[in-house]
Structure 1
Amino acid sequence: MADLQDEPPSVGIGAPDLQAPAGPETTASALERAAALLSVHPVADGCNTLVWTLRQSPYHDIETPDAGVDTDIPRLRAGGVGAQFWSLLVPPGARPPEDGAAGDRVVCDTLEQIDAALTLVRRYPESLRLALSADDMADARNRGRIASFLGPVPGRALTGSLGALRAFHALGVRALAPAGAPWAQEALTAFGHEVVQEANRLAILLDLAGCEPAVARQLAGASKAPVIISNTAAAALNPHPHNVCDEVLALLRETNGLAMVTFDTARTGDSLHAVADHLDHVRAVAGPEGVGLGAAFGTEPPGHRPTGLTDPSGYPRLIAELLDRGWPESDLALLTWGNAQRVIRDAEFTARRRPSPAGV
């Protein structure tokens, strides 16, 4: 039975913009139904890269809409976003290693990303609230704030140390991305198994975005808690190297994991309808409890966003499209909020069953 804190408030974090132009196949009534649903079951978005963008423009005010950045508080609220994972990954090639010190650089970058994310949350206390747990997620929503989770951090930043993982957890990190780490490349190493066990003990979600299918299968099999893929799409519809294959989607269904669909034209196609096709497919293979949203907004503006989904304010139009396709509201409530909260809470339940190692 869900905790009382999980019960939705009568009023959500902000009504989506009903004046958004409806497409030829999206009726006004569908937008109204989408708005009503999002006011109770807001979007829990699994990926936003705004932290890196703000590091390049540290004085940018996200309370004021700016065409130069696709994410700000007004558009998050217009889109009905109630929880957000702020990615702490550094874009590939953004910081070339200096003098061969790649390990030191990734650790420093990760710490700077964490600092920037915490600064972001502290700067907007009336809109953002740091979340460390599923209870925090519900509490933030009930107080009209956007629950802000930190993560993922890159698995490479552990540099062979479980102590580093514990330190990141103490700083508020709640997700880890193994892709690219030496312990999770062609196969999961002995240290990789230790990382999985420690992540389970700390209730840190394992984010398999970018992992090779064989490694993703190993990670999902080794983890006692559900795993997520924070921004992906269906490889069966588009064979992009970072899209997820049906075999892994089926494994997520078996292990209660979650695949969160991105809004990236290279991976989904160039329209809202194409994104909806990917959501249909992931739901069919991973199940209604295995599909979520991980748009990967937060970048410099458009060019690689599907029409109708160029920023977070487009969420109501996407939900309206899914309503028109016959998705029941119960499945949409899982898509937007329920599945994300469930995997976080399941990770916490797993952590309570994991004993602490000696000396920790």
Structure 2
Amino acid sequence: MADMLGTAQPGSTDPADPAAPARALLARHPLVDGHNDLPWEAREQTRYDFDALDIGGRVATTQTDLPRLADGGVGGQFWSVFVPSTLQGDSAVTATLEQVDAVHRMIGTYADRLALARTADEVDRAVESGRIASLLGAEGGHSIGCSLGTLRLLHVLGVRYLTLTHNDNTPWADSATDVPVVGGLSEFGREVVREMNRLGMMVDLSHVAATTMRAALATTAAPVIFSHSSALALCDTPRNVPDDVLAALAANGGTCMVTFVPEFVSPDTAAWRVEAAEAAAEVGVDAKDWEAFGRFSAGWQQQHPKPDATIEQVVAHVEHVREVAGIDHVGIGGDYDGTDTFPVGLEDVSGYPRLVAALLERSWSEDDVAKLVRGNTLRVMRDVEAVARDLQTTRGPSLRTFDELDGPPTATV
């Protein structure tokens, strides 16, 4: 049986396909992925022209398109409305709004295959209609420009998580890859978390410093997520999650969505990135500058090849999070179109069945795989929605300002 794309259904049980049982499982439990940067790629490649970058067919210049999402068994995707943290203030807010607009236009352009989803129930309804549920996540607190009003308007526009920082600190939160300034979260940062709880917007702790993770967990009334992070114990990079924080997710009810980025999965690739960052610094390129460092490393690796990561290493991270946090607190956040290379076998969004096949080979039950690929993320969404409904009966919008709580902001870049 063919789907709307004219390709084999993900549930095909072709005996010649070693991933056939995994594809069948994903047909029953379509994957919800926590992070995909296709919108920024659309901006960079065609200024959001979806005639020029027609993701309705297979696209050679991206890791994501609709046929490959179908092949990958994807039923829901958080599209990142990321903007680099080299943009600040009004420029960051404007670029974020352009990203949000682009995702809405993309959904409208492919309305037969994509459906906007703002709640867990809408994710389920989208999948029941044969479409991929399309959710929005903002990557970096610089996107709100120190304004709770901007945060609220992003929620109105459908944004359902905010990553508290990207590669640079915000004036109110410390990043994992910057020099600490506020010791985690400032008082305004804690107010951001509380307002997100009231709105029903998930607090995303990928990219933040470990001190920020712990401060957010101490502040939040709702479960948190890591939209695209892996385990620090297996790959020592500040972008990964320490075991004490993973353990705290059990009490919080949150989920760590394991990412596929080789630098966060493979110790060898992480060491390669440290060397690349040191080489970049010698020529005046800051590794926190996502675009400039990307350009530098693309050339540098021609003489210094990047080590490959493997599906087995991704499996190890998934199993470590399961061991430390529990099976109810692990998910998937591939970060496709957010970096240049991916583990062998997971090079694009069609690869998810290979990961599921590897887990089935390790005797994962269908129920546990279903939690990993879908159930845990939707449960967190429903819990966050329930907390918001309760808070909205007793609390109105916060009118506190950054200047009132923390004083005038200083430059962070």
TM-score (norm 1): 0.88
Query: How big is the shift at 1:16?
Result: 5.6
Q: Mark the CA change 1:20 to 1:307 in structure 2 (over 3 Å): closer, same or farther.
A: farther
Q: Mark the CA change 1:273 to 1:89 in structure 2 (over 3 Å): closer, same or farther.
A: same
Q: Mark the CA change 1:331 to 1:54 in structure 2 (over 3 Å): closer, same or farther.
A: same
- Of residues 228, 233, 256, the one that matches 2:230 is 233
CA contact (8 A) 1:17 1:79 kept: no
In the alignment, residue 73 of structure 2 is paired with which amino acid?
A: G
- For the pair shown, which has the larger CA radius of gyration, 1 or 2? 2
Corresponding position of 2:311: 272
Give 1:220-259 correspondences, 5 Å limit: 220-259=217-256
Greater mean deviation of Cα atoms: 350-359 or 182-191: 350-359
1:292-319 CA-to-partner distances (Å, cap 9, x unmatched) read 000001257x5x2100000111111110
- Of residues 187, 199, 203, the one that matches 2:196 is 199
Distance in 2 between residues matched to 1:346 and 1:358, nearest whole Å: 20
1:233-255 CA-to-partner distances (Å, cap 9, x unmatched) read 11111101201111111111221
Tell me if 1:48 matches 2:43: no
Distance in 2 between residues matched to 1:166 and 1:358, nearest whole Å: 9
Distance in 2 between residues matched to 1:37 and 1:167, nearest whole Å: 38
Corresponding position of 1:184: 173
Secondary structure of the equivalent of 2:385? helix
Corresponding position of 1:111: 97
1:59-88 CA-to-partner distances (Å, cap 9, x unmatched) read 300011122111000000001000000011
Q: Mark the CA change 1:187 to 1:240 in structure 2 (over 3 Å): closer, same or farther.
A: closer
Secondary structure of the equivalent of 2:211? helix
Tell me if 1:85 matches 2:78: yes
Distance in 2 between residues matched to 1:278 and 1:249, nearest whole Å: 12
Corresponding position of 2:129: 143
Q: Mark the CA change 1:41 to 1:200 in structure 2 (over 3 Å): closer, same or farther.
A: same
Corresponding position of 1:74: 67
CA contact (8 A) 2:11 2:25 kept: no
Could you say which structure has the greater relative contact order, defined with CA pairs below 8 angstroms and 6 or more residues apart? 1
Tell me if 1:15 matches 2:19: no
In the alignment, residue 322 of structure 1 is paired with which amino acid?
A: L
Structure 1 stretches of 4+ moved >4 Å: 16-22
Percent identity reads 42
Query: How big is the shift at 1:177?
Result: 1.0
- Of residues 378, 383, 393, the one that matches 1:341 is 378
Query: How big is the shift at 1:158?
Result: 2.1
Q: Where does the alignment leave 5 or more consecutive residues of structure 2 unmatched?
A: 1-7, 175-182, 267-308, 400-413
Corresponding position of 1:4: none
Tell me if 1:33 matches 2:21: yes
Query: How big is the shift at 1:17?
Result: 6.9
Distance in 1 between residues matched to 2:15 and 2:108, nearest whole Å: 31
1:256-291 CA-to-partner distances (Å, cap 9, x unmatched) read 110001111111131111111111111111110110
Greater mean deviation of Cα atoms: 307-316 or 155-164: 155-164
Query: How big is the shift at 1:353?
Result: 0.6
In the alignment, residue 351 of structure 2 is paired with which amino acid?
A: G
Distance in 1 between residues matched to 2:310 and 2:352, nearest whole Å: 13
Q: Mark the CA change 1:258 to 1:182 in structure 2 (over 3 Å): closer, same or farther.
A: same
Give 1:207-356 correspondences, 5 Å limit: 207-269=204-266, 270-299=309-338, 302=340, 304-355=341-392, 356=395
> Over aligned residue pairs, what C-alpha RMSD do you find?
2.0
Secondary structure of the equivalent of 1:86? strand
Distance in 1 between residues matched to 2:13 and 2:347, nearest whole Å: 16
Secondary structure of the equivalent of 2:336? coil
Distance in 1 between residues matched to 2:16 and 2:94, nearest whole Å: 44
Secondary structure of the equivalent of 1:353? helix
Tell me if 1:129 matches 2:115: yes
Secondary structure of the equivalent of 2:391? coil
Number of aligned residues: 332
Distance in 2 between residues matched to 1:230 and 1:255, nearest whole Å: 16
CA contact (8 A) 1:16 1:316 kept: no
In the alignment, residue 41 of structure 2 is paired with which amino acid?
A: T
Query: How big is the shift at 1:19?
Result: 6.9
CA contact (8 A) 1:16 1:313 kept: no
Distance in 2 between residues matched to 1:183 and 1:357, nearest whole Å: 22
Corresponding position of 1:10: none
Q: Mark the CA change 1:346 to 1:91 in structure 2 (over 3 Å): closer, same or farther.
A: same
1:8-44 CA-to-partner distances (Å, cap 9, x unmatched) read xxxxx9416767997xxxxx3xx23212211111110
Q: Where does the alignment leave 5 or more consecutive residues of structure 1 unmatched?
A: 1-12, 23-27
Query: How big is the shift at 1:157?
Result: 2.3
